[in-house]
């Protein structure tokens, strides 16, 4: 103890002994929201040799660990050390930053106070009329020349997420290009508490895009947490009020809307003629802002919905539409899929309802080809009668599907050679393209739609190609609503592991 105090005294004395050499303290990081991304920065001081920024969105750092965005900057510009990304932020985002500064051959680290995006500077460069920093320069794209000093990115490979395990085995799994240890638990959600953890999950508040398989729902914030379970229960428009009429009224989600691609379609609807309001209200949540990964195993313990024309959403969806904006050009993986009807058969009498579980990949919108890259298994009872553990393992060769620890099928890669529609784009990826990018987790419940119930199914009250499909579905509610004996999706936990 005495030696430690003496050491502190020597450090203090050394700081005072030479006025030209000062002890350095990292200043608070400044966040600026730009038109196409954001910038974090600290001011330059003589003696700074390089600066590393580590940034997380909506997820605090537990230690000095790599961030969602991590780069070391070797050169300052106009008396600022800064890092820019092209990730757009939302007003409810919170940015966490820790900074590593090399100052006069010594290293300093500091975790900054969390910064709410709503409190950050917006458009400072464009509003001032003149910018002291070149506007929106991506660090990896800054030109190098004799007359131009620019920041460069480090070529050092970031460390694994958890270095504490001395027996860390190499893993195929990556998180934002960072390596992890094989078998490591990389995500876990047990839904404790009474509300969603906003640092992990975010509601989708929107109408489905008007594409070939749009569901007949409005996704809103009607999920519940109770007794360690997530519960998403769909309900009818107007709570089945006798005066409810989906052919009348307007819907405008306003600032709450979380449109993905087309706000005019996803955020508002004016009912007229064949255009109706969504017949069903439900919920859909995802980890897009907080957690995504490439290759791994996902487990979900859940009780699936029971009720005609419902289906659960236990999905892996692409973080970026790397292969284009067309429906499913970048793929979708289904951890578990169920047509939740109590009794549902094809025209030839084959059972396809709630006793048949599916899992695998979706690569096209057409309902007749929807199951082409999925496998299935049957049980004597509806899968929604009890909890089961649904698992999808995703590697660089195949998808493996399990239920309660039993494998029921695999889906091989090589989709570029099988599906002609996107062959040229997927050919630029690896054998698993489009499943060679990062994906995030989505949970929810949907109803009806143009893609998941082929027209050959008996007793189906709408035709997929009909512009009035949602209206016909609504008009038949007196037949199918009585079957919604347990329409909620209940999720006990979600876990993801490195492989």
Tens digit of each residue's pLDDT (9 = 90 or more) over 31-64:
999 988 999 999 999 999 999 999 988 777 878 8
| Pairwise pLDDT comparison (189 vs 274), residue with the higher score | 189
- Tell me which CATH homologous superfamily contains domain 24-141: Beta-1,3-glucan-recognition protein, N-terminal domain (2.60.40.2140)
> Is 71 strand, coil or helix?
strand
> What's the rounded mean pLDDT across residues 103-111?
91
Q: What is the pLDDT of residue 88?
A: 85
What is the pLDDT at residue 420? 67
Best CATH choice for the domain 185-497 from the list 2.60.120.200, 2.102.10.10, 3.90.1150.10, 3.30.479.10: 2.60.120.200
- pLDDT of 10 > 60? The answer is no
Nearest C-alpha neighbor of 152 from the set 164, 160, 144 = 144
Mean pLDDT to the nearest integer, 118-129 = 54
Confidence of residue 22 (pLDDT cuts 50, 70, 90): low
Examine the pLDDT at 142 and tell me if it is beyond 70: no
Q: pLDDT band at residue 483, thresholds of 50, 70 and 90?
A: very high
- 6-15, 148-157, 244-253 — most confident range: 244-253
Average pLDDT over residues 390-417: 97
Inter-residue contact 476 to 359 (CB < 8 Å) = no
pLDDT of 230: 98
Query: Domain residues of the chain, as ranges?
Result: 24-141, 185-497
pLDDT at 496: 97
Burial degree of 385 (CB within 10 A; 0-12, 13-18, 19+)? middle
CB 207 within 8 A of CB 216: no
Let me know if 83 is exposed, middle or buried by CB neighbors in 10 A (0-12, 13-18, 19+).
buried
Per-residue CA distances from 463 to 339, 458, 460, 482 (Å): 17, 12, 8, 21
SS3 474: helix
Rounded mean pLDDT of 16-30? 69
Of 340, 304, 351, the residue nearest 458 (C-alpha): 351
Task: Report the alpha-carbon distance of residue 279 to residue 237 in Å, rounded.
Answer: 5
| Residue of 477, 472, 450, 452 lying closest to 462 (CA atoms) | 472
**253-256 long-range Cβ contacts below 8 angstroms, 24+ apart:** 253/205, 253/206, 253/207, 256/205
Given this model, what pLDDT does residue 147 score? 28
| 3-state DSSP assignment of residue 266 | helix
Separation CA 49–CA 24 (nearest Å): 12
Confidence of residue 135 (pLDDT cuts 50, 70, 90): very low
């Amino acid at each position: 103890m005495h030696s430690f105090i003496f050491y502190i005294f020597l450090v203090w004395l050394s700081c005072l002994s030479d006025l030209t050499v000062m002890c350095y303290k990292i200043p608070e990081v400044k966040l600026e929201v730009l038109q196409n991304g954001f910038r974090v920065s600290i001011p330059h001081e003589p003696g700074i040799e390089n600066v590393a920024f580590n940034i997380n969105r909506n997820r605090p750092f537990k230690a000095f660990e790599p961030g969602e965005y991590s780069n070391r900057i070797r050169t300052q510009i106009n008396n600022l050390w800064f890092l820019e990304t092209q990730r757009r932020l939302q007003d409810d985002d919170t940015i966490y930053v820790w900074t590593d500064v090399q100052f006069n051959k010594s290293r300093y680290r500091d975790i900054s106070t969390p910064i709410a995006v709503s409190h950050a500077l917006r458009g400072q460069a464009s509003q001032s009329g003149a910018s002291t920093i070149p506007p929106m320069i991506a660090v990896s794209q800054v030109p190098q020349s004799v007359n131009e000093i620019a920041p460069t990115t480090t070529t050092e490979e970031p460390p694994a997420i958890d270095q504490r395990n001395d027996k860390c085995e190499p893993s195929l799994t990556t998180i934002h290009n960072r390596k992890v240890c094989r078998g490591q638990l990389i995500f876990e959600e047990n839904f404790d508490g009474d509300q969603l953890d906003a640092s992990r999950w975010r509601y989708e508040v929107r109408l489905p895009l008007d594409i070939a398989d749009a569901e007949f729902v409005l996704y809103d914030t009607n999920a519940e947490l109770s007794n360690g379970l997530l519960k998403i229960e769909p309900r009818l428009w107007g709570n089945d009020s006798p005066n409810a009429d989906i052919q009348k009224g307007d819907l405008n989600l306003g600032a709450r809307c979380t449109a993905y691609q087309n706000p005019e379609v996803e955020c508002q609807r004016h009912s007229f003629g064949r255009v109706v309001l969504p017949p069903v209200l439900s919920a859909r949540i995802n980890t897009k802002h907080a957690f995504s990964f490439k290759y791994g195993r996902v487990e979900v313990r859940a009780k699936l919905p029971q009720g005609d024309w419902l289906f659960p959403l236990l999905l892996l969806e692409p973080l970026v539409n790397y292969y284009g904006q067309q429906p499913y050009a970048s793929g979708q993986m289904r951890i578990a899929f169920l047509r939740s009807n109590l009794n549902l058969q094809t025209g030839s009498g084959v059972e396809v309802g709630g006793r048949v579980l599916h899992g695998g990949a979706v690569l096209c919108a057409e309902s007749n080809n929807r199951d082409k890259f999925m496998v299935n298994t049957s049980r004597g009872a509806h899968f929604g009668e009890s909890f089961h553990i649904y698992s999808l393992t995703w590697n660089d060769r195949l998808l493996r599907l399990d239920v309660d620890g039993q494998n029921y099928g695999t889906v091989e890669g090589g989709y570029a050679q099988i599906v002609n529609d996107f062959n040229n784009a997927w050919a630029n990826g690896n054998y698993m393209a489009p499943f060679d990018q990062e994906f995030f987790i989505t949970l929810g419940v949907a109803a009806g739609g143009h893609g998941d119930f082929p027209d050959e199914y008996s007793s189906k009250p709408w035709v997929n190609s009909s512009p009035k499909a949602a209206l016909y579905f609504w008009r038949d509610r007196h037949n199918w609503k009585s079957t919604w004996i347990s329409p909620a999706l209940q999720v006990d936990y979600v876990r993801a592991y490195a492989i």
